Structure 1
Amino acid sequence: MIHSTLLKNGQHAVSRWKNGNGMTFEIAISPEGADFSKDPFLWRISSAVCDRGGPFSSFEGYERYLTLIDGKKFNLKFTRTGHETPVEYGKVFDFSGDDGVTMELPDGPVKDLGLVYRRDAVSAGFHVLEFKSKPRSITAEGRTTFVICMRGRLHASIYPGETKFKLTPLDAIRIDCGRNEEASILLEPSGNCAACVIEIE
């Protein structure tokens, strides 16, 4: 059975970083109710407000996706190779949680959106969709799909069932499809907006 859930921005769990450099808003985690700081987990979707640069936490055995949703840009510097990658709005960057990584903020504070998932148990996709005026339709099939509003306002309709949602920034819809089930998701923008689509199976 296809099941869809609205996750409102104001309901996300909030935690301050131990180093004081930022704040994290947890959108979803599996298993549900896991304590990210101490419990084993399969995957986690979260957004962070980063006030100052600094090292990322290490996640051995995990893969990571990251994108910028507010601010000009940030740089990721990899300790082992010294390689530095700029991440700008709408660009998706993926990297290993095994890597030592430092975030640098050349243009001030930023807000990001990311996924951390265990590479030996989960496969995942992470995409940014830009809207101007035309609606777009996506398909969720046999997996868990999240649609997260990054900017502006979105109207989402889930079929079958014609369940409707209104999304503002950092609101999310979770759509769970069983094996051999398929849902169609119609996304209709109100003006200029953007969304992140995350697929997990």
Structure 2
Amino acid sequence: MEIIRYAELKAHPWRNGGGVTREVARHPRSAQDNAWDWRVSIAEVSKAGAFSVFAGMDRVLTVIDGELLLLSVDGAEHPLEKYRPFRFSGDADSAGALPTGDIRDLNVITRNGAFKGYTSIIELSKKRAHPVFEGQFGILLQGQATVSPGTAGGPAPAAPEPVPAELNRYDAVVGSDAETPEIVGRGFLAVVSIDPSHEPGTD
């Protein structure tokens, strides 16, 4: 069971000085600059300004802290409220304004024709565990939660019961179909899914 601890992620300042980004994961991991096929990251936005262009990419942006991001995409304004994912083209001329102050957002960027990214916001339960499958990340946005290895891969061998791991805010649980991690608690979880693309003309 793999947990990516937010506190251990390095902050990378934006070129325009408007914020910083912490990368949660990318594929392939060894890819440099924007040569990756997908990336999941969390950004802190402290100043209005232009967003980077990601040519040939698809973006899903979700405000996860703060009240409002006023996003301009090719001249059209979109008020993005907290926990409402918004999809737009990485090729677009985009910029953000902060009418209510600083925000933090979750970014899922995928290469067109290779992968498709999705973000869902769910409310956690203490009674019903939420599984995180292969190709998914579960990111704790708010509240308190623990994660344990599931038994989706079949009966577990005779061994001591695993101790649930505590999750801190913005920690990410990496999904698996072998021992599907299961998250329980109170609060809100972002479930990011990265699916291989099945567009016409792709393998």
Give matches, 1:1-201, under 5 Å: 4-35=1-32, 38-79=33-74, 82-131=75-124, 134-138=127-131, 140=133, 143-160=134-151, 164-177=164-177, 184-189=180-185, 191=186, 193-201=187-195
Secondary structure, in 3 states, of the residue corresponding to 2:87? strand
1:63 and 1:117 in contact (8 A); partners too: yes
CA contact (8 A) 1:13 1:27 kept: no
Q: TM-score, normalised by structure 2?
A: 0.83
Q: What TM-score do the two structures reach when normalised by structure 1?
A: 0.84
The alpha-carbon deviation at position 114 of structure 1 amounts to 1.0
AA of the residue aligned to 1:24 = T
Deviation at 1:134, TM superposition (A): 4.6
Aligned partners of 1:137 and 1:184 also within 8 Å: no
Number of residue equivalences: 186
Shift of the alpha carbon at 1:11?
1.5
Alpha carbons 1:75, 1:84 under 8 Å: kept = yes
Counterpart contact for 1:29–1:44, Cα < 8 Å: yes
TM-aligned CA distance change 1:171 to 1:185, over 3 Å: same
CA distance in 2, matches of 1:39, 1:112: 19
3-state SS of paired residue (2:7)? helix
What's the CA shift for 1:185?
A: 4.1
How far apart are residue 136 of structure 1 and its match?
A: 4.0
Q: CA RMSD in A?
A: 2.0
Per-residue CA distance 1:146-175 (angstroms, 9 max, x = gap): 111111221122312576432111111112
Structure 2's unaligned 5+ residue stretches are 196-203
Tell me, in whole angstroms, the C-alpha distance in 1 between the residues paired with 2:86 and 2:65. 15
Q: Distance in 2 between matches of 1:99 and 1:107?
A: 24
Name structure 1 gaps, 5 residues minimum.
none
SS at structure 2 position matched to 1:10: helix
Contact 2:4 2:173 in 1 (8 A): yes
Q: Kindly tell me: are residues 55 and 71 of structure 1, through their superposed partners in 2, closer, same or farther at Cα, counting changes over 3 Å?
A: same
- Name the CA distance, whole Å, in 2 between partners of 1:156 and 1:9: 15
Letter in 2 for 1:15: H
Q: Percent identity?
A: 28
Which structure has the larger Rg over C-alpha atoms? 2
Moved over 4 A (4+): none
Q: How far 1:184 sits from its partner (Å)?
A: 4.2
